[in-house]
Structure 1
């Protein structure tokens, strides 16, 4: 029996989570209200709905609502009456309008990626708990200046919109750590220049033989492959084929440009070449194959953690390992900044490690290009990324084994660095050149 049939038969009493994805719904099932005393998470994604009932607030315990991949053209006003609603997702709809009345009072996480939104209501600035705002792939030219009051904002995605400049107030938010803005008019020039700055081998598609799939993300699919070079040699590689549509982070072509611009570094996954002559015209990169001993350092944020990664319960390492990982990542990011890019998604879940302190930074989906004609803005963007590094240091230290006497001085130094990176005074945060130098000692 399907979930929708169970719901209609009254067999789901007391559930806290209800998944109605892809059930072919054209309207809200009234039977959901029978779960009002318990339901906290409701997923209506992948249906054919374009409205929610005016009495949605009857779901008094509802905290999370997913309505992605539906044909909504307006964010429903009924959302604003839901007393406990914190996370709202309307990704890949047809939304043009976001009424002020649609904003829940406890809003913490808002996903409106890949819609047709041209403006947002000033009332968004009256949501002091807002931490995460995902707006990539819309038609925005500006954000309401009233949002300067959103002092809790930590992650903002405004890539693939129509901004002519970054809002000045946005760069002054004290907790902002992850800001993606690629694919806007003001960022097009630096992206094109970066693509041409680093020589990249052109790899004919016919030289690649795809093997098994290694993974799939929002922007593309990665396969292991054999690269049969012109000299007759064969090399095992990874091949990433980009999907083409806008993701939560921005355009895949921006990610490709950032990967190429990063250049070689021992703590970055090396780009070996750019694919050409794909039969479907699909863009792609040939990457160095990462040793299978490497795995993700952490998992992505949960609803509860919102902006912070989730680590395995048994995640532990020595202080020496933490220091080594921190140093490797700092060195890689220092090179990115020197090459005119910010990673913009500096998270442990985008890092691979082998259990011994060797670590590699990946996933350039949110990476952006620094405005080299604006030194002050570039410097601020670099120090926004320093706060993300401070969050990483905090997590690395939290999972350390007890520190030996001989390591206490370096432990204190790393804790002090973490505090500096997370300073509310953005200008007081260290640049990554300084961070990398300190950790290389």
Structure 2
């Protein structure tokens, strides 16, 4: 994090990224002195409500973060920034998004947790748009023009007011990661009863160290005293994340039931002193590690793998089978995961793997319909992308059948893609040589 003093003293000349969070109520004009070099500007966590009209005087600006400020509208000056492609205004009070605010190269737009009830048609005229994050607003419709966004791969519209999903949405050729939980369209679906999930009283748990933290909560190691068993406890935050509501995530985790490629839920916590929602889950063996890291600003929708990551064909095939099997299981239960990605998969050297993080999961009708089939096959594209990432890292030659399967899963015609039952059968018939 930089300081205002450093900026004013001219000590930051030549920097490409500026991070300022110091209670700013207005945009410091000294930022323009960095015009020759500045590419990424992060002004999140201030008290700003406007940006200067001449923001385009930062000609190299590609990325702008202004989350946790006091904006009530998306500044129109953004639209004049020729190179600006990523915009983040999460957790403001934005109710108006003017068409003029959308720059021509817009690729990644984050407007999570605002008060937006309508978006301009202009949004569909941004052909590079790849990632659109709108969870936690007041939207009941999306502009029809978005049907033209053939590069749109990730869409988050959880916790809004949609009573139906637009038909064109289900035909977008590149869409792979969709989250729409917490809308009337989803709440109309009967969720399988979770009476089988036991309640675990808070005093029965003795908390130990933090194992990990994500957008939706903190995972801690704990001792479940009656059984003497070490477990993991996920304590959910109540706030809206970029995927949606953590409480919907918890509901999906429970409804997912048992599967060898899922982390087992032991029960839900009752009687937390602050009424915090929490789940008790099996503790994962330390031999498991994350398959990939989250996408970067540059990769946008693609995970980052460590440079030396390599698998034998046997291990890659085993992981692909495991993930296809658990995805088929979820779809049979009327759940789309919404975030089928390497960074949400834990694996070990033998190719055993576990799919985690239900933050973007949504419920759909289990009866066969065009909508259900399309929703499931949007997720099949995510699997196809993952399969491609595994095949790129296979030692030696990947089999032609696997390459064909990847292409089939990623084809632009959504309903022509195979379903996960069919994918499982195909993977089962492939021999590793």
TM-score of the superposed pair, with normalisation by structure 1: 0.95
> Which residue of 395, 401, 407 maps to 2:389?
395
Cα distance between partner residues in 1 of 2:167 and 2:96? 25
Cα distance between partner residues in 1 of 2:109 and 2:255? 31
Cα distance between partner residues in 2 of 1:78 and 1:110? 15
Deviation at 1:252, TM superposition (A): 1.2
3-state SS in 2 of match to 1:240: strand
Cα distance between partner residues in 2 of 1:380 and 1:439? 21
Deviation at 1:198, TM superposition (A): 6.0
Change (3 A) 1:152 1:2: closer
Q: Deviations over 1:345-372 (max 9, x none)?
A: 0000000111321111000000000124
Cα distance between partner residues in 2 of 1:2 and 1:145? 42
- Confirm or deny that 1:200 pairs with 2:197: yes
Shifted more, 348-357 versus 73-82: the winner is 348-357
Deviation at 1:129, TM superposition (A): 0.5
Deviation at 1:197, TM superposition (A): 4.5
**Residue in 2 that maps onto 1:370:** 364
Q: Deviations over 1:143-182 (max 9, x none)?
A: 0111111111000000000000011111110000001000
**Residue in 1 that maps onto 2:289:** 295
> Which residue of 199, 213, 224 maps to 1:216?
213
CA contact (8 A) 1:140 1:162 kept: yes
- Confirm or deny that 1:427 pairs with 2:425: no
Deviation at 1:7, TM superposition (A): 1.1
Question: Size of the alignment, in residue pairs?
Answer: 429
Cα distance between partner residues in 2 of 1:278 and 1:301? 34
3-state SS in 1 of match to 2:167: coil
**Residue in 2 that maps onto 1:78:** 77
- Confirm or deny that 1:227 pairs with 2:221: no
Aligned runs of 1:105-124 on 2, under 5 Å? 105-124=104-123
CA contact (8 A) 2:205 2:225 kept: yes
Shifted more, 2-11 versus 329-338: the winner is 2-11
**Residue in 1 that maps onto 2:12:** 12
3-state SS in 1 of match to 2:298: coil
- Confirm or deny that 1:415 pairs with 2:414: no
Q: Deviations over 1:184-206 (max 9, x none)?
A: 0121143x623x25610111111
Change (3 A) 1:48 1:374: farther
TM-score of the superposed pair, with normalisation by structure 2: 0.97
3-state SS in 1 of match to 2:218: strand
3-state SS in 1 of match to 2:267: strand
CA contact (8 A) 1:212 1:224 kept: yes
Cα distance between partner residues in 1 of 2:33 and 2:396? 50
CA contact (8 A) 1:198 1:261 kept: no
CA contact (8 A) 2:338 2:361 kept: yes
Aligned runs of 1:55-134 on 2, under 5 Å? 55-134=54-133
CA contact (8 A) 1:198 1:260 kept: no
Deviation at 1:137, TM superposition (A): 0.1
Shifted more, 313-322 versus 2-11: the winner is 2-11
CA contact (8 A) 2:38 2:58 kept: yes
3-state SS in 1 of match to 2:191: helix
**Residue in 2 that maps onto 1:182:** 181
Cα distance between partner residues in 1 of 2:367 and 2:245? 23
Deviation at 1:226, TM superposition (A): 0.5
CA contact (8 A) 1:141 1:164 kept: yes
Deviation at 1:32, TM superposition (A): 0.7
- Confirm or deny that 1:438 pairs with 2:418: no
CA contact (8 A) 2:324 2:420 kept: yes
Change (3 A) 1:2 1:35: closer
CA contact (8 A) 2:333 2:366 kept: no
Deviation at 1:4, TM superposition (A): 2.1
**Residue in 1 that maps onto 2:341:** 347
Q: Which consecutive residues of structure 2, in runs of 5 or more, have no partner in the other structure?
A: none
**Residue in 2 that maps onto 1:43:** 42
3-state SS in 2 of match to 1:433: helix
Deviation at 1:10, TM superposition (A): 0.7
Q: Deviations over 1:84-113 (max 9, x none)?
A: 000000000000000000001100000000
Cα distance between partner residues in 2 of 1:353 and 1:372? 29
Q: Which consecutive residues of structure 1, in runs of 5 or more, have no partner in the other structure?
A: none
Q: Deviations over 1:64-103 (max 9, x none)?
A: 0000000100000000000000000000000000000000
Which aligned segments of 4 or more residues in structure 1 are displaced greater than 4 angstroms?
Answer: none
3-state SS in 1 of match to 2:73: coil
Deviation at 1:373, TM superposition (A): 5.4
